[in-house]
Amino acid sequence: MGFKINRNDNIVVLTVLDDVILDTIEEFRNVIHSLIEENVVYVVLDVSSVEFISSRGLGVIGYAMDAMRKHGGDLKILGMKPEVKAIFDICGLSQIIEMYDSQDDAVLSCGNAVSNVEKRLLWSIKPKE
């Protein structure tokens, strides 16, 4: 597995160059942990070269999203193929992680105080009467 890391101000575009499976999960986890330790709070995860993500890979993505949101940032997904999106749909991650087809759009979305997904969730909560 390989990765390409591009830094754009306080945003990292992390390009995953291969499938996230048992053989590659440890390297993926290490890259994510190093970004979190560097206090990176915005990551655009480019998965345009990925055809499969294992359940452990989904766990690492969920962990990264949670860690970044706790520090005021977020994780966005870029370039998802339909077969990978189906995996995200099955486990529900597609409902809580913003996905983009354009890197420019994904990078520009970073820094919004409340994401569109969170806005929809907040609007769906009815106040107690």
In a domain, 36, yes or no: yes
Confirm whether 26 is domain-assigned: yes
What is the per-residue pLDDT across 17-59, written as a single tens digit (0 to 9) for each?
988 988 888 999 999 999 989 988 899 999 999 999 999 999 9
- The Cα–Cα gap between 62 and 105 comes to 21
C-alpha dihedral, 83 to 89 to 95 to 97, nearest 10°? -40
Question: In the prediction, which pLDDT does 1 show?
Answer: 64
Does residue 67 carry a pLDDT above 60? yes
Structural domain total, the chain: 1
Cβ-proximal residues to 85 (8 Å cutoff; 6+ apart), any chain = 94, 99
Q: CATH number of the domain at 112, please.
A: 3.30.750.24
Domain-embedded: residue 116? yes
Domain enclosing residue 77, as ranges: 3-124
pLDDT value of residue 30 = 92
Residue 44 lies in a domain: yes
Q: Would residue 34 count as lying in a domain?
A: yes
Report yes or no on 7 lying in a domain. yes
Sorting pLDDT into bands at 50, 70 and 90, what band is 10? Answer: confident
In a domain, 81, yes or no: yes
Confirm whether 129 is domain-assigned. Answer: no
